[in-house]
Structure 1
């Protein structure tokens, strides 16, 4: 007797923060997992927490432009078809643009933009062929306005938001659910990696609270193209789109600037 085939969720950035929480939630919903991040030990530790779920650990450095194609090849070699893609990997850099390390900027753009774009495109045939397909991209409240001292990060997240919302429209009428999730400041390793907590502004939420927002949206009959976690964060994003840009930039500079 053949058992029921479980859907598979591939999650990048699964070693910590949102990625790890999404892994736990999708496992609880009956998904097997493909866990992607640089740190194999963290991924294996997470897999050990989920003994009732088949976890495939695929360490990868998404700052390498060849990583998405290599991941796709490994999935094909193992015969794994993906139903859910969560692009959670990403990082930011804090500081004035001219003082930033050019190599770190290049890595930031590759992880936040290049890898998200490539993985979304390479896995789109699998996602569209699934009756339970989900494409979930993590953006940021920084996607809704330019952010001095976070210039590159905010620009990359604005790109991801625009891409995801466009894909939402392109895939209307299909079973695929597409969502851009914008967390506000959240207690993750993000601030440590960025090198500052100067921009802990807005409504602070926990990782589980932010993930709850995503699943409430995905579970709706007609999910929206994007959601912002936190009522105050939503109002801030709306205001940023309505107020004069010079005023928005001056306020953002006071809040996040050096």
Structure 2
């Protein structure tokens, strides 16, 4: 890149913690300026200061609550008003819930659908046309290994991630030949605050090491490299790859019963 060429810009949602923070670091290390989006403005500001000092990039902080249906369009309008052109859209914001569907609160259930599905879709719809017009760009959507099977005990979360995977694959195919790629990152259990928000941190399935748990930095590195290659789907970790593939070989009735029993067996 020449000294006078503008740096590419990556917009990262859910950048205040976990995988989002480490994805922002990966793109900064690669020479991208950043637009950091999350509710926690103080955490975003600290991250912006860090990446500016370590990598010499500019990081714009935009505090936004993507559970508000109007927030994605406001975010796009804000970015446009600042004269910023997004080269990479990272849809990382999302959360889960370990409650059974009938016992979950309406607020958390509908908020999960808004953040995990509606906001992601709205942001793709807003930013993709500009990328296509310029003939270049990348979208990195963070789904989950939960996308590959129904999840009794985390029914809505698994369904939202199945949507993310399906949408991303289809749009990636539609965009072939445009210079724009869509990558879906599917992590398994990861050491972030996700488990606390989903109320599964004490679940023995995770806390006692019954399933592999990766670090956010490991997952982010895998996702970043896949996005750079334009890979359509990447499952983080070999055991998670095996776990994601196995349900395709079994009857769905068996898969849902097994998943439900595994999640139930981990509950204290």
Name the residue aligned to 1:37: 38
- The normalised TM-score by structure 2 is 0.91
Task: Measure the CA separation in 2 of the matches of 1:147 and 1:89.
Answer: 20
Tell me the equivalent position of 1:101.
105
Structure 1 Cα separation of the partners of residues 136 and 26 of structure 2: 15
- The residue number in structure 2 matching 1:214 is 223
TM-score (ref. length: structure 1)? 0.95
- Aligned pair partner of 1:202 in 211, 219, 240: 211
Aligned-pair CA distance for 1:132: 4.7
Q: How much does 1:130 deviate?
A: 4.3
1:18-167 matched pairs, under 5 angstroms: 18-51=19-52, 52-130=56-134, 132-167=136-171
> What secondary structure sits across from 2:214 in the alignment?
coil
CA pair 166-73 structure 1, distance change in 2 beyond 3 A: same
Q: How many residues align?
A: 256
* C-alpha contact (below 8 Å) 1:83/1:130 kept by paired residues: no
Residue 49 of structure 1: SS of its match in structure 2?
helix
Q: Is the 1:94–1:195 Cα contact (8 Å) retained in structure 2?
A: yes
Provide Cα deviations, 1:35-68, integer angstroms capped at 9, x if missing partner: 0000100000101102211111000000000001
Question: Which of 176, 181, 195 is 1:177 aligned to?
Answer: 181
| Unmatched runs of 5 consecutive residues or more in structure 2 | none
In the alignment, what sits opposite 2:263? 256
Cα displacement string for residues 106-129 of structure 1 (whole angstroms, at most 9, x for unaligned residues): 100000000000000100122224
1:224 Cα deviation after fit? 3.0
Taking structure 1 as reference, are residues 102 and 41 closer, same or farther at Cα in structure 2, changes over 3 Å only?
A: same
Q: Distance in 2 between matches of 1:153 and 1:170?
A: 26
Aligned CA distance change for structure 1 residues 129 and 5 (closer, same or farther; 3 Å): farther
**8 Å contact 1:139–1:181 — kept in the other structure?**
yes
- Partner SS for 1:50: helix
Counterpart in the other structure of 1:232: 239
Q: CA deviation at 1:5?
A: 0.9
Task: Report the secondary structure of 2:176's partner residue.
Answer: coil
Provide, for residues 4-59 of structure 1, a one-character-per-residue CA deviation record: whole Å limited to 9, x for no partner: 11111000000001111111111111111100000100000101102211111000
Q: CA deviation at 1:131?
A: 5.3
RMSD: 1.6
Offset of 1:218 from its aligned partner?
Answer: 2.8
> How many angstroms does 1:202 deviate by?
3.4
